[in-house]
Amino acid sequence: MGIEATMDLLRALRYRGMLEEFEAQLKSNEYDSLSFIERFSLLVEAEYLRKQNSRIQLRNKKAGFAQGDACIEGIDYSLDRNINKDTILKLASCTYVSRHENILILGPSDSGKSYLGCALGNAACRRDIKVSYMRLADLFESLDRAETAGRLTKVFRFFATVSILVLDDFLLSVPTLKQVQILVELMEQRERTASTIICSQLAPRDWHKRIDEAIQANCIYSRLVPSAHLIELKGATPMRERYSTIGSD
């Protein structure tokens, strides 16, 4: 089989990583000293990395991050942010996920909560961990639509079992009694089985200000807070804005 026929087969098989590496080897004499096994290994590795990158990109797309460009590398660790770099890098390793621990990201409006939540979610996607990002209000709306369509059980099961659920704007507004009951049930099912990242302006001690029923407020608290890593942000410049200035004149 000739070179062109081999390349056509690689295209037909959609082995784009292998095809690109094969073309690179044909154009350069740097590979001449390598054995057949070494050159073939490079082809296989190129295809593996391409598929791995495609899988990560798909994970990110399905996660639905509000800030798709958010990443650990873009986090600003200025003193006024009150962000400990060692803590963030440890969380980015995602060891908390295997222990089914949670993360609470607290801070005022425009302090970078959403950016940090999306960045940690992105770090998990890079490790091939399934993540879903939702504003709490959008989560309730999604479940309402699912109930109307007769798909509530299936959709609820997804949010109850996804490895990392990032809930942004947590308790930003007062939920209805039905929404509180849904949140209680969701947190009960996720406890000790999955990890939840909460982004909120409201400290846990103040959650009862949004939830009239004290028992339900305590139930949500007890399932999220005891096993949570707490990050309290300060400052008022959005992280996305700070990141966008990096490398600019």
pLDDT band for position 17 (cuts 50, 70, 90):
confident
Q: Which of 38, 62, 86 is the last residue of a domain?
A: 62
Please indicate, yes or no, whether residues 93 and 130 belong to a single structural domain of this protein: yes
pLDDT at position 156 is: 97
Judge whether 131 lies within some domain: yes
Judge whether 156 lies within some domain: yes
Judge whether 164 lies within some domain: yes
Please indicate, yes or no, whether residues 72 and 53 belong to a single structural domain of this protein: no
Stretch among 59-63, 71-75, 213-217 having the lowest mean pLDDT: 213-217
Structural domain boundaries, residue 97: 65-244
Please indicate, yes or no, whether residues 210 and 240 belong to a single structural domain of this protein: yes
Residue with tokens 């699912």: 146
Strands (E), the chain: 102-106, 131-135, 164-168, 195-200, 228-232
Please indicate, yes or no, whether residues 10 and 106 belong to a single structural domain of this protein: no
The domain tally of the chain equals 2
Judge whether 58 lies within some domain: yes
Please indicate, yes or no, whether residues 42 and 20 belong to a single structural domain of this protein: yes
Please indicate, yes or no, whether residues 187 and 104 belong to a single structural domain of this protein: yes
pLDDT at position 100 is: 97
Q: Which two tokens stand for residue 44?
A: 């296989």
Q: Which of 12, 40, 62 is the last residue of a domain?
A: 62
CATH number at residue 222: 3.40.50.300
Q: Which two tokens stand for residue 166?
A: 């990032």
For residue range 155-184, list pLDDT tens digits in order: 999 999 999 999 999 999 999 999 999 999
Judge whether 52 lies within some domain: yes
Which residues partner with 167 through β-bridges? 134, 198
Judge whether 153 lies within some domain: yes
**Rg value, the chain, Cα:** 23
Q: Which of 40, 62, 84 is the last residue of a domain?
A: 62
Please indicate, yes or no, whether residues 83 and 191 belong to a single structural domain of this protein: yes
Judge whether 249 lies within some domain: no
| Distance from C-alpha of 122 to C-alpha of 190, rounded to nearest angstrom | 20
Judge whether 94 lies within some domain: yes
3-class SS at 169?
coil
Can you state the percent helix, strand and coil of the chain, rounding each to 5?
60, 10, 30
For residue range 41-50, list pLDDT tens digits in order: 999 998 888 8
The answer on pLDDT for 244 being more than 60 is no
For residue range 229-238, list pLDDT tens digits in order: 999 998 655 5
pLDDT at position 237 is: 54
pLDDT band for position 248 (cuts 50, 70, 90):
very low
Please indicate, yes or no, whether residues 39 and 103 belong to a single structural domain of this protein: no
Q: Which helix (H) or strand (E) holds 2?
A: none
| Distance from C-alpha of 202 to C-alpha of 31, rounded to nearest angstrom | 59
Q: What average pLDDT does the structure give for the chain?
A: 90
The answer on pLDDT for 88 being more than 70 is yes
Please indicate, yes or no, whether residues 14 and 90 belong to a single structural domain of this protein: no
Please indicate, yes or no, whether residues 206 and 87 belong to a single structural domain of this protein: yes
Please indicate, yes or no, whether residues 115 and 26 belong to a single structural domain of this protein: no
Please indicate, yes or no, whether residues 84 and 205 belong to a single structural domain of this protein: yes
